[in-house]
Each structure stands twice: as C-alpha cells, then as structure tokens.
Amino acid sequence: MEGTPQEGVGLHHHLQKDGDVEILEHDKSGNVQRRWLHKADKSIIPVVDQDKSNSFFSVSAREWRKVLSDAFLPVGFPHSVSEDYLAYQTYDSLQAFFSTITALLANRALLQGLGVGDANSSATFALLLTILKDAMSRVATIVFAHRFGLRIEPDAKRYRFLADLFNDTAFFLELWSPFLGSWGKVAALSVGEALRALCGVAAGASKAALSVHFAKHDNLAELNAKEASQETAVGLVGLLVGTFVVKYVEDHTSVVALTVLLVLAHLWMNYLGVRCVQMNTFNRQRATILYKEYLHSGRILTPAEVSARESIMFWYPIVTNFEGAPIAVVEFAKGYKDAMEGFSPSRDVTVFDGTGYSMFICKSHEGLPRVRLLLSAGTNPQHAIRAWFEAMGMTWDWESPKDDGKWNKMLARRIFKGQSGGFSVPRAAFEFGDLEWIWERLVQKGWSLETQAFETEAPVRLSFRAMDRKKE
C-alpha cells in the first residue's frame, strides 16, 4: 500500500525513484505532526491540509498558537501527556494566581512583623528573627522529609493538597504577626516559616510523583520545565494584579477578609486539581475501592471511576464485610517485629503464607483485628497487589470480632493451624482462582501492574531458613 512503510525499504530507496514523495513526521504516539512533499526536482515544500484556511490572518493565528503551545505545553501535546494533564494544570495555574496575591499581602505583614516602619524596632531584632526563621525552616525540612518522605508518593494527591494547606496557614500566621507582642511575633513567624518548609517538601515530592504519571513520551524533564514556565507566566499576572491590591487594600479588616477569600479560592482550585488526577497505579485506597466494587458487583472499575470515589484527605485502611460493618485493619507491616505485634505474648497472632507474601492476623482486645502483610524476597509489584486483594477477600465474610465465639469460629473456618509454634500455615491464604483473568481485565481498563504504591515505610522483604537444633 502506498505511504505504508515496507520492511527493509527506507527513505533513501523512495528518494531514488522518479516522482514526488510525501514525508510524514509522527510523534511517539504515531500521530502525524507535519507533512512534507519531496518533489522530483529535489525541492521540499510543506503540505497544508485543504480544510485549513490559507489566509494571512489564519496562518498568523496558527503560528502564534504554535509558539504559545511550544512555550508552555510539552512537545506533542496532547498525545505526549495523560488525559488528565490539561485539567490539572488549569486548576494548578489558577491556584498559583490566587496564591501569588495572597503572598504579597502576607509579605507586607511579614515586613511589618520584622519591624519595617517601626521606629522602636531594631535591626538586631529583625536579624535574629530572620536567623531563627531560617533555622526552623531547615529543621522542619529535615524532620518532615525523614518522617514522611516515603509516604508522599503513595498518597501524592493528598500531600499535594496538604502542601497548600500548610502554605496558607503560614500566610495567616504572618498576617497576624504585626499585632502580636515580641514573643508572639517570634512564635508566629517561626512556625509560619516551618510550615512553609513543609509545603516545599510536600509540594516538590508530590509534584514529582504526579509528573511521572503525566509524562507519556519519556518527557519528564521537559514536562517539569514547561510547568515552571506556566507558573512563571501566571505568577507575573498575579504580581500585576497583586500590586494594585496591595496598594489600595490597607485596612486590616479588609486585608483579612480578602485573604480569607483568596485562601478559600486557592484551596478550592487545588482540591479540584488533585481531584481530576486519575492515577493508574495502585495504592492502598485505590486498591480497596476497586476490590470492594468487584466483590459487590463483579465489575472492574477504571482509574477514572476509582478517582471519582477517592478521598483526598481522610482515609484509613479499614475493611468492611458484606454487611458494611468494619471488620479489620489491613496494612503492610514495618517489619517482622511489627507484624508479630512486637512479640507480645498477650497477642494471638496467626501467620500463614500466600504467593510471594506472608500474612499476619492479630486478634486485638482493644479494637479491630489487624491484618499485616510482608512481601517475600524477590517479589514484584504484582505480588503486592495480589497480597492486598487476597487480604481483603479473606476478611470479606468475617463476622463481628466483638463476639469471641464468632471470632474463634471464623478462625477455625478460615485457618488451619500448623505445627510450628501453633501459628504457621504453609499454604496459600486465599484461593483466588480467577486472579489471572483479573490481571487481564485490569490492564484492559487502563491500570498499570508494573509498579505499586502500597508501602508507606521503608520496604521490607522476608526470607527464611530452618535452623538445625544442637544435639544435647
């Protein structure tokens, strides 16, 4: 067929023939970006679609659109990014606009808090306060990154929203700092700077995770560069509008009221932005939502459908049974000691093996039983997904743990105790015969099984070997 590449036939072969050759430039998704006509006389002319106007104004408008698109959007847009990229960036730009104006109002209050315009304030006090703020910021960055660094990627949408919540709280602390005493200023500005540091860590790390999701053509670096250009352009507009706001709005009551409105708009835009992101990798919440629907109706949800049900702020890994009653807490253990509930003799821990993982069930007298998972050495992301699904499947028809008789009867029905210490079961935890069929359906629905985001602590993998007893 003419125009279709033939195996072993390259561009040179076609150019050697007498006649015109149409050259098509494709992006990585296979979409045609440009057409050229290589004529027999070796001249090259661009090919323009017939349905496009050839007027001067139409051509100029097209060129300007291309210039703006190349400056602010990734090359190959929209095919080079995920479908939710444009919606997220729109809301992200709007929230950046509101944030820029709010920052100007807060910065004026910050300068007043440092003593600008106050004859009774000293430069030494301002310098010491600045040093303290900087020290608080650095300490907060280190502590937050150490404590929550591994949790950000699995819950990138939550921490992206939390970042702006931290930032807006810092704005309010700075806004009220001029009306506090000396120690009040120190406390407010120091805490505000620490919150802004938390914002920097959470926003930077969560944006990195979201950028990986958006990038489709190995264009992660370019996507981040274009996002910086977008924020710069929006920031310039925000500075222009904010200059007039700062000049004409000086009354404290008006400033506070305006700041409240700007912060609410800022947070709402940020919420809508993270809401429209449709992550196609499994974390604890997304896997729970998908599997609950599967157990109820047998239907596999798409990433978009799961995203619509996903909670941005408040979620805890509590599994409910068929009647909707809370029945257990399912989570990945921090380590073997954590899985065994700290080796406490008062805990009744049952251990059994699944495919590539071990499951630890602990009956707790204080609350719901806990199901903890640990992956085996050499496993892949699909083992983690399987472990979570099978843990949910196991707890699906449990009765209420409040009744000890029912609890013991449930364990007897579900678990066959082994001989090693009375708690080990050397067989699969939950026979899930149609799992391979589910893998195929998940991929068809748009889910990625090449990575997982279940573990929010340092990943731990188990291996084990029997130790020979020494002869007496």
Q: Supply φ then ψ for residue 102, to 5 degrees.
A: -60, -40
Q: How far is the CA of 402 from the CAs of 18, 369, 423, in angstroms?
A: 86, 10, 22
What pLDDT score was predicted for residue 423? 34
Query: In a 10 Å sphere around its CB, with 0-12 CB exposed, 13-18 middle and 19+ buried, how is residue 185 labelled?
Result: buried
Minimal CA–CA distance to 376: which of 350, 358, 352? 358
State which residues of the chain have pLDDT below 50.
1-3, 7-8, 56-57, 59, 117, 119, 404-405, 407-433, 472
Whether the CB-CB separation of 22 and 37 falls below 8 Å is answered with: yes
Q: Does domain 84-276 have CATH number 3.40.1280.10?
A: no
Token pair 């069930």 is found at 361
What pLDDT score was predicted for residue 308? 92
What would the two tokens of residue 453 be?
């985001």
CB neighbourhood size of 83 (10 A): 14
pLDDT tens, position by position, 296-346: 787 889 999 999 999 998 888 888 776 777 888 889 988 888 888 766 665
Helix, strand, or coil (residue 14): helix
Whether the CB-CB separation of 110 and 245 falls below 8 Å is answered with: no
Minimal CA–CA distance to 143: which of 211, 195, 183? 195
Q: How far is the CA of 202 from the CAs of 48, 86, 136, 342, in angstroms?
A: 46, 22, 16, 31
Total length of the chain: 472
Residue burial 287-308, b: 16+ Cβ < 10 Å; e: rest: bbbbbbbbeeeeebbbbebbbe
Helix, strand, or coil (residue 236): helix
What pLDDT score was predicted for residue 363? 76
Strands (E), 288-426: 318-320, 326-332, 348-354, 357-363, 370-376, 424-425
Q: How far apart are the first and last CA of the chain?
A: 83
The string of DSSP letters for 38-105 reads E-TTS-EEE---TTS--SHHHHHHHHHHHHHHHHHS-TTTTTTB-TTHHHHHHHHHHHHHHHHHHHHH
Whether the CB-CB separation of 328 and 371 falls below 8 Å is answered with: yes
Q: Position 209: which residue type?
A: A
Q: What is the residue extent of each domain of the chain?
A: 11-52, 84-276, 284-414+427-462
Whether the CB-CB separation of 312 and 318 falls below 8 Å is answered with: no
In sequence order, what are the residues at sequence separation of 6 or more whose Cβ sits closer than 8 angstroms to the Cβ of residue 343?
337
Angle (nearest 5°) at CA 413 between 409 and 416: 115
pLDDT tens, position by position, 86-137: 899 999 999 999 999 888 888 777 666 555 545 455 666 667 777 888 898 8
Q: Quick one: DSSP state of residue 468?
A: P
What pLDDT score was predicted for residue 68? 72
